[in-house]
Structure 1
Amino acid sequence: MATNPDHHREIDDNQTDHTSTGTARPTAEAEEPNSRTSITLSKQLNQECNDLLSEIDAYSALVASTLRNPQMVEVRQFRTNVNAESKILQKMARQIEAAVEADPSSADPDAEMRLVHALRSSNLPFYQVVWRIAKDSCTGLVALGRRFYWDGESKATVRENMKKAGSQPEKPPNKDKRKSAFVDIVADDGQEWVKVSTVSENRLLFEMAEKGWECDSDSEEEWSEDGKGRTVLQHSDDDEDDDEMELIKLARDLRRAANATRVRYGHPRLRVVIPKIEEGSVPSIDSILTEMRRYGVQVECQDRLPESTGTGLTHLLPQPFKNFTSTLNVDCTILLALVSDLSHIKDIVPTFQLHPAILRQIEVEKEKPLLPSELWPAMSDRELVTTSEAAVRFKEIVETIGTDTEKNRTRLLLGEQPYDNLNREVILQKFQELSDYQVPAGWKLPIKVINAQPVIEAAKEKDELNAVVHEVAKTLSDINNSVFLYGWVTGLTTISSNRTIDKQIEATVEANRQDDDDLKGPDVWICDTARSLVGKDRDRKT
């Protein structure tokens, strides 16, 4: 139906076409194409498209108002595709209205039939299914539409090879789209990929016949343990690459892309939803589903589709704190943010004497304050610890360049004199006196300082500790060694704004991975923005 390049590209990305989507409406198909049919169908599609756009916009507004960094959720391209479909449907509605207003005796039946066929070939039902699957069965939405590749070396490998060769990496070449998989929904904060196929049973059977696939249930070797026969797909041609069934190729490509991708040190889970297929009704189609599942793909058909919950859209927001441990290991960078005047005083007046980095942080704070929007929700009512190395460095920085209020907050944060004998309620009350924001009643102060080295050394001596930990330790400073290794060996979530170190650790783990899919690095949550102390002047490094 579509005439613009983006629309055709999306059809290719989603491995669907107008013959396979089965988008015709039953009520319209029962009638001969006429003016009433086209008008009814046109109004229905346009209204449904507007409803879908309204829901997408509502979610985008929720993301913008909730997240510090709304760009971390990718729905813009999906909305662009739906909006393009809306414009096409609107144009066709105008054509239908013009045809109806014209002299009926001069109406072209063939033109009327083409309009109805074009309406029934709309890609809107596909977008509706993708949105419904996301809304009703997913949490932690990251993207509606993203391409993943499996070819070539990883960025970490390229950097390592260049470093060994003593040269700088050149701009990487464009990746081969043929070695990629387009995922319709990236959910569970990146840990689940969902692909939607609106192929129909008739289309699948036609494809099997066209490509020379047949079923064989007579083979003596293909019997399950319970004695029941299993239908097996067989191909009559040796050239299986060209004649691969699209759904099987889809499952294979998803697996290849997932195997080349790691999220939180693990591969994403794969799910393919086929809403127009009823499993168990056609043995040959069931054999295709079985083949797909051999790639480790969860396949859901018509009978397993989630029912609409109607519970709103908040569950689709990213959920970065859901896997946090009950005790959090706090890095020095976060300690500084917790006591900085930038984090607590709403109306700091920008002056020429302030470092440019401080001026940028003041502007960022005005848009979305760090503590109430990110750090306090992350900490919630969890216990908080920090290593002695991090605490010492933290106090050195504050004593050297901190303001009086920043120094006072530091003593409260760590429960040091003159606040060492106060209970938590009193500490929070005094902390409130130094902040323009409402300090949460469940905030667990003071933060406990841990002697991490004995714990780390004891863990290193254990045989079961993976050798990668030792490799990572070689690359870290004493402070980072204490913080990140302590969190790693104890299994605690470490919170930090030091993204560079986190990526360095991740690259070292992956570079030293020995075909061990169970190997995991430290559980680290990175705060997207850091906070300096106001005491810095223009001549100090940030």
Structure 2
Amino acid sequence: MSPNVNEHYSIHINTPNENNNDPLTSLPADESPAQTSRTLATSLVTRCQSLLAEVTAFQTLLVESQRNPQIVEVRSLKSNILSELRTLEKLQAQVAAIPAGTWTEDDGEGDDDDEAARRLVHALRSSNLPFYEAVWGIAKNTCRGLLAFGKRFYWGGEEGGARGSGEKRAGKDKRKSVFVDIIADDGEEWVKVSTISESRLLFEMAKKGWEADSESEDEGEARTVLRNYDGDEDDSDDDDEIELVKLASDMRKAADATRVRYKHPRLRFVIPKIEEGTSEIDGLLKVIRGYGIKVDCGEKAYVAGTQEGLSHLLPKPFKRFTSTLNVDCTLLLAVVSDLSHYKNITQSPQHHKAINRQIAVEHERPLLPTELWPAMAANELVCVEEAAQRMKEIVTIIGTDTEKLRMQILLGQAPFHDCSREELAQKYQELSDYEIPAQWKLPVKTVEAQSVIAAASENAKLPPVYHKVAENLSDINYSVFLYGWAAGLATISSNRTVVKEIESIVETHRDGDEHLEGPLIWVCDTARSLIGKEKGRKD
């Protein structure tokens, strides 16, 4: 229905008589075309409205729960559903304008109203709504940690962590790309949905010369293989290729060119209208699975075990956290900054422009309650000596009295060195407009990094690529990030630039090692400076 559906989502548009088990897609003998078109239009509009309401409810949940609701890309799916609804409503209006009339099977050519109604039935039965329903149902019932609906991934360029990740690429060859319907598990799973029917798939296979043959293996047992008479499986002529097989090949190429947290995404096909059990279908699925793709067939693949609610679809950014977190200096400063604790700070010409930007962001979604405390409150916290020392230097020079007090409490320094965790939290509460989490494990303990890094290197607990990473880091970043890597701890930081540099170095020097991983780092969405920064001081 929507003109851009093939570009954005579906590899298949429903055609008449493909879903004969669906009462909405057949033409009952005892109903006139006008009656059938009314029934079908009403049902499709209602279903589309219901689908739109669910997707909108998920967007609302994102706004309520996420610091950055745009972290999950829902807009393209919602836009397609809205477009489909407008089209269906127009068709419904056209249906309503046709008189009900009378109709029998012996009417011969039929009158103009019946012909118009038949055309509308055909248009309604060609709706893309069932595909959008399938995409949403599969996501809702089989996925967790959604990141996007409908995203293009490329191959053929440099391989890397953020590369191939779906951003628009000027000058890129679209033929070397694939459109993925669902990106889930915080980017680690790609799901492709096809609503092609078995009859249409078998027709395509026959048309392109694919059939099931038997071959004997060494043991003499028969097995079913899939052959194309016009060329082998590696034939570059796409005209001879089954669409699902081409998609499988393209998905594999794009996934091999993309890494998420140092690993290639897992791939999954869901084909709800296809059932396993026939030699032709099973042979085709074997080819698809040969690309390392998990294939789920039949509606039971996503209807069974229907999930309640939508919260499981929210991103899970902390799922890989270690029980102890290594805190970078950037976040130590954010935790003590007045900007993070006082609600009444307003923008002012006296503030540095970066401070004013942070004040505006803070008023919209406060950093501590919406991001940092959810990330760190349940974990033991440590920082390397170099990070603690850098924070002390900065706070001592430009920090306010309250920022200096928070620093002493955070690190458990005198006069708070003998305080219990509960006492430290209470002292912190006196300096904040936000409720301090009861489970926040103060103080942040200072640890020595150099000996840990040296021991890990000597005992080969760090891969050789760490030398390349070390060469490109400043002294403090060397201590922070290599300590986390050596100690096997997740490091939390807002230094996105350095993290991207580390990922790039690891990928550049992977040397074919598919299992190579760099340090586990979580990057906070935003940072906070100290309020005491002078207007003229450079960032």
Report TM bin, short chain: over 0.9
Q: Is the 8 A contact 2:267 2:292 kept in 1?
A: yes
Q: Is the 8 A contact 1:403 1:535 kept in 2?
A: yes
Distance change (3 Å), C-alpha of 1:323 and 1:306 = farther
Summarize the alignment of residues 56-135 of structure 1 with structure 2, pairs less than 5 Å apart. 56-100=55-99, 107-135=112-140
Residue number among 188, 200, 205 corresponding to 1:203 in the alignment: 200
Deviations, residues 410-469 of structure 1 (Å, cap 9, x unaligned): 000000000001111111011100000000000000001000100001111224531110
Summarize the alignment of residues 183-262 of structure 1 with structure 2, pairs less than 5 Å apart. 183-217=180-214, 219-221=215-217, 229-238=222-231, 240=235, 241=237, 242-262=239-259
Aligned equivalents of 2:17, 2:471: Cα separation in 1: 55
Residue number among 152, 155, 178 corresponding to 1:150 in the alignment: 155
Comparing 13-22 with 526-535, greater Cα deviation is found at 13-22
* Cα shift at 1:386: 0.3
Normalised TM-score (structure 2): 0.93
Q: Is the 8 A contact 1:497 1:526 kept in 2?
A: yes
Deviations, residues 176-234 of structure 1 (Å, cap 9, x unaligned): 111111110000010000000111111111111100111112x11276xxx86321011
Supply the AA of the counterpart residue of 1:304. Answer: A
Residue number among 365, 369, 383 corresponding to 2:366 in the alignment: 369
2:428 alignment counterpart: 431
Summarize the alignment of residues 88-487 of structure 1 with structure 2, pairs less than 5 Å apart. 88-100=87-99, 107-154=112-159, 173-217=170-214, 219-221=215-217, 229-238=222-231, 240=235, 241=237, 242-280=239-277, 282-302=278-298, 303-307=300-304, 309-463=306-460, 465-487=462-484
Supply the AA of the counterpart residue of 1:195. Answer: K
Supply the AA of the counterpart residue of 2:80. Answer: N
* Cα shift at 1:99: 0.7
Aligned equivalents of 1:394, 1:508: Cα separation in 2: 27
Unaligned runs of 5+ in 1: 159-170
Distance change (3 Å), C-alpha of 1:252 and 1:155 = closer
* Cα shift at 1:65: 1.8
Distance change (3 Å), C-alpha of 1:317 and 1:157 = closer
Supply the AA of the counterpart residue of 1:145. Answer: G
Supply the AA of the counterpart residue of 2:231. Answer: D
Q: Is the 8 A contact 1:143 1:186 kept in 2?
A: yes
* Cα shift at 1:110: 2.0
Report the secondary structure of 1:494's partner residue: strand
2:515 alignment counterpart: 518
2:106 alignment counterpart: none
Report the secondary structure of 2:518's partner residue: coil
2:495 alignment counterpart: 498
Aligned equivalents of 1:183, 1:473: Cα separation in 2: 36
Q: Is the 8 A contact 1:212 1:237 kept in 2?
A: yes
Distance change (3 Å), C-alpha of 1:155 and 1:469 = closer
Distance change (3 Å), C-alpha of 1:441 and 1:21 = farther
Aligned equivalents of 1:483, 1:533: Cα separation in 2: 21
Report the secondary structure of 1:305's partner residue: helix
Q: Is the 8 A contact 1:201 1:276 kept in 2?
A: yes
Aligned equivalents of 1:272, 1:95: Cα separation in 2: 37
Deviations, residues 362-421 of structure 1 (Å, cap 9, x unaligned): 111110000000000001211000000000001000001000000000000000000001
Comparing 287-296 with 228-237, greater Cα deviation is found at 228-237
Supply the AA of the counterpart residue of 1:58. Answer: A
Q: Is the 8 A contact 2:269 2:295 kept in 1?
A: yes
1:38 aligned to 2:37? yes
Aligned equivalents of 2:130, 2:72: Cα separation in 1: 23
Deviations, residues 69-102 of structure 1 (Å, cap 9, x unaligned): 1121111011111111101100000000001278
Distance change (3 Å), C-alpha of 1:100 and 1:57 = same
Distance change (3 Å), C-alpha of 1:173 and 1:369 = closer
Report the secondary structure of 2:422's partner residue: helix
Report the secondary structure of 2:98's partner residue: helix
Q: Which has the higher helix share?
A: 1
Aligned equivalents of 1:371, 1:309: Cα separation in 2: 34
Distance change (3 Å), C-alpha of 1:471 and 1:245 = same
1:161 alignment counterpart: none
Q: Is the 8 A contact 1:20 1:198 kept in 2?
A: no
Distance change (3 Å), C-alpha of 1:333 and 1:403 = same
Report the secondary structure of 1:134's partner residue: helix
1:168 alignment counterpart: none
* Cα shift at 1:508: 0.6
Percent identity among equivalent residues? 56
2:4 alignment counterpart: 6
Q: CA RMSD in A?
A: 2.1
Q: Is the 8 A contact 1:494 1:523 kept in 2?
A: yes
Deviations, residues 155-190 of structure 1 (Å, cap 9, x unaligned): 8999xxxxxxxxxxxx97521111111110000010
Aligned equivalents of 1:197, 1:20: Cα separation in 2: 17
* Cα shift at 1:359: 1.0
Report the secondary structure of 2:519's partner residue: coil
Q: Is the 8 A contact 1:75 1:144 kept in 2?
A: yes
